[in-house]
């Protein structure tokens, strides 16, 4: 009976939301400066001044290596009005997205605010909507592309954020009616899903969740983090949830994410990573680690040496693969 119930629930999930959230197994590919930038977002390893064919080659190489090393099927990329509004750069960015499709990778496009105006709010509402109009005009027919309205809306109350997201949906759905390709950020730093998950206006959309060790409690054991993570997500939202950012330092001071026996009373970061991987795995949520590649970021799962990517931490990779519900890759 239990197996039939699970199968029936899975079928309902697919019919309601397209692919289940568990189908999103990926990483962020970010600008070396972070995606909070004034100006264009340029993913690490991309030369914005290079000819289109060279940008395509660079993107294909990085996507291929991330897929081979980590077994991913999803990449999350940042956009902002400067990225989309630049007549020379936006075609190159679309070419990057097209390379993902060639490798059968899904793409999540998330809007970031600028660095100098960083306050958890959309920098300029009319410009924001104009940007999304352009993105949807160019990419709404590209079924592998998904749209995350706004990254980390912590400047708004939860009710204010829900109204903004609902207003965006009202404008977008007549042009792109597939709700399953839309991600609604949780409130705060994407860190609470209860309010957006309960809002009927977001039915059929995925929910974007973020958590890092410094966002939450001071737990130094796996169990404490498991309780907090589950409280922030809510089991009723799990089938719609994609954890689009989670991570910890993989470089510098050696991090060992293998041994649970070393966790008790010692490292909240280790406890957090193991707990997050376990909850994602248990609740069959989507997992998009921050970042798979970002030059200069200690959290990065890969390091770039010219054109070659290398894993920075094998034990960290194991936890990410556990969140993907696979044993090994690459």
* Distance in Å from the first CA to the final CA of the chain: 37
Q: What is the dihedral of CA 288, 43, 177, 142, to 10 degrees?
A: -110
pLDDT digits (tens, 9 = 90+) for 209-262: 999 999 888 898 999 999 999 999 999 999 999 999 999 999 865 567 765 555
Fold that domain 19-324 belongs to in CATH: TIM Barrel (3.20.20)
| pLDDT of 278 over the 70 cut | yes
Residues 237 and 187 sit within 8 Å (Cβ to Cβ): no
| pLDDT of 6 over the 70 cut | no
Report how far apart, in Å, the C-alpha atoms of 276 and of each of 91, 187, 189 are: 37, 19, 16
Kindly report which listed range (8-22, 74-88, 218-232, 276-290) carries the lowest average pLDDT score: 8-22
CB neighbours (10 Å) of residue 93? Answer: 25
pLDDT digits (tens, 9 = 90+) for 135-144: 999 999 999 9
| pLDDT of 156 over the 80 cut | yes
How many CA within 13 A on the CB side of residue 245?
A: 21
Percent of the chain with pLDDT over 90: 84
Cα angle: 201, vertex 205, 210; to 5 degrees:
110
- Predicted confidence at residue 16, as pLDDT, reads 47
Q: In the chain, count of helices (H) and strands (E)?
A: 11, 10
| pLDDT of 205 over the 80 cut | yes
Q: Residue 15: pLDDT band by 50, 70, 90 thresholds?
A: very low
Region 279-308: mean pLDDT is 97
Region 177-196: mean pLDDT is 97
pLDDT digits (tens, 9 = 90+) for 57-116: 999 999 999 999 999 999 999 999 999 999 999 999 999 999 999 999 999 999 999 999
């Amino acid at each position: 009976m239990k197996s039939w119930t699970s199968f029936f629930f899975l079928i309902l999930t697919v019919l309601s939301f397209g692919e289940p959230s568990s189908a999103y197994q990926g990483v962020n590919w970010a600008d070396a400066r972070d995606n909070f930038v004034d100006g264009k977002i340029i993913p690490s390893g991309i030369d914005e001044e290079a000819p289109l064919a060279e940008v395509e080659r660079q993107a294909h190489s990085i996507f291929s290596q991330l897929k081979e090393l980590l077994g991913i099927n999803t990449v999350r990329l940042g956009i902002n009005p400067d990225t989309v509004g630049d007549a020379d750069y936006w075609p190159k960015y679309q070419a990057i997205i097209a390379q993902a499709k060639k490798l059968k990778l899904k793409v999540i496009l998330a809007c970031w605010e600028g660095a100098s105006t960083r306050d958890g709010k959309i920098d300029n509402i009319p410009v924001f909507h104009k940007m999304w109009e352009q993105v949807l005009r160019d990419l709404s027919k590209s079924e592998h592309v998904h749209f995350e309205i706004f990254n980390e809306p912590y400047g708004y109350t939860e009710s204010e954020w829900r109204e903004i997201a609902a207003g965006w949906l009202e404008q977008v759905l007549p042009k792109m009616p597939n709700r399953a390709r839309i991600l609604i950020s949780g409130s705060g730093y994407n860190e609470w899903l209860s309010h957006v998950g309960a809002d009927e206006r977001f039915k059929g959309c995925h929910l974007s969740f973020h958590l890092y060790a410094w966002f939450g409690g001071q737990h130094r054991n796996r169990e404490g983090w498991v309780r907090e993570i589950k409280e922030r997500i809510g089991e009723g939202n799990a089938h719609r949830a994609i954890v689009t950012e989670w991570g910890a330092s993989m470089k510098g001071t050696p991090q060992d994410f293998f041994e649970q026996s070393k966790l008790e009373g010692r490292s909240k970061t280790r406890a957090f990573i193991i707990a997050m991987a376990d909850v994602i795995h248990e609740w069959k949520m989507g997992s998009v680690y921050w970042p798979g590649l970002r030059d200069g970021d200690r959290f990065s799962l890969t390091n770039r040496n010219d054109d070659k990517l290398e894993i920075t931490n094998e034990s960290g990779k194991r936890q990410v693969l556990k969140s993907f519900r696979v044993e090994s890759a690459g």
